[in-house]
Amino acid sequence: MFEIPAGDFVLTMTPVTYVADEENDRRRDWITVRMTAEVPGIRTEKEWMLMRVEFDALRQRLDAMHEAIAAGRAPAEVSFQAMEGVLELGLRVVDPRLGSIHLDFVIRPKPASGFRFSGATVIDQSFLPGLALGLETLASFGLDA
């Protein structure tokens, strides 16, 4: 499971099923995840399919950000938009000394409808390894089948 617990905001993605790529390219397998985003008084939930390669790409960007912070370098911003448009994440360091990261999020339960659940919060850089591990877990879902 992938989870961003940030104060009043929580985003979770839990794997449900996967569909293997017809040409046996495991990176292109589709994984159905149940996404839940919550703030006090508002909760949205949606099952949606993302490709294994999307989880890997976001994990690599989070790892690179964490490595740069640990080495005392200015990390690149992380920007992620799911291929199907259901999820967008943006992370940028706002205080390198403290490791504070500004997180923007947009969740579109029905991408074509115009409805969106969006906001921003601050997380600590110490969350990055756990987020990357959660993405690795999602990306490996179904591989033992």
Residue 46 is assigned to a structural domain of this protein: yes
The 10s digit of each residue's pLDDT in 21-65 is 788 777 788 899 998 888 888 888 888 888 889 999 999 999 999
The pTM score is 0.86
Integer Cα distance of 49 and 28 in angstroms? 11
Closest CA to 108 of 89, 85, 83: 85
* H or E stretch at 16: strand 9-19
Domain count, the chain: 1
Residue 145 is assigned to a structural domain of this protein: no
* H or E stretch at 60: helix 52-70
Domain range holding 107? 2-139
CATH number, domain at 71?
2.30.31
